[in-house]
Amino acid sequence: MSTGTRRLTIEPLTKQAFAEFGDVIEVDNSDYFMINNGSTRRYHKLATTDVQDQGGEAIISIFQATPLSYPLTINMLERHPLGSQAFVPLLGQPYLIVVAPKGDAPSLSSCRAFWSNGRQGVNYHKGVWHHPVLALTDQDQFLIVDRGGEGHNCDEVYFDTDLVSLDLDSLPECNQQQQKQRTEHAL
């Protein structure tokens, strides 16, 4: 780690902790009502898409991601100024999230890191700075709901000073054992 590099603490993903950046998409502690003659719980409106600027439309995609090397130096963030972007894990695998508040230029000093248990998705609000997907398992898959259409909808900023580092040693305690087992199984 070079001088000027700060280590991020990885926090468990909760609705309250993530509220500044977007929505946590999960059924735990979420309201529901029964449909389909009482056979199905509908967890209604866990997040909303915000994609209509400049004639945009909601689109659904699947990303297949592989892990990056850790410790990871965060040297870039991106944002989508014209629309929200939701990531919903399809395979139930934990993954990481790095975000910074909305603004003209992101500040790495205000970055926060979160750990999703694999049953939680996130919906980044329009304009929230974030790191691209941070899978922890090989060929992990995410359902993406974001904006399609005309207009520039991806700003990227690269940093060369005051960097932050993301180290798996700071994973929440409940996941450290799972990560160790996955690593041993892969060997």
Pick the CATH number of 6-185 from 3.90.226.10, 3.60.10.10, 2.60.120.480, 3.40.50.1100: 2.60.120.480
User: Whole-prediction pTM value?
Assistant: 0.88
Residue 55 backbone dihedrals phi, psi, to 5 degrees: 75, 20
Question: What are the residue boundaries of the structural domains of the chain, listed by start?
Answer: 6-185
pLDDT averaged over 10-residue windows placed end to end, the chain, 187 residues: 74 97 96 97 96 96 97 96 98 98 92 97 98 97 97 95 88 59 44
Token digits for 87? Answer: 């990531």
Closest to 15 (Cα-Cα) out of 114, 128, 103, 136: 114
Report CA-CA distances (Å) from 16 to 19, 23, 168.
5, 9, 23
The pLDDT assigned to 185 comes to 43
pLDDT at 186: 43
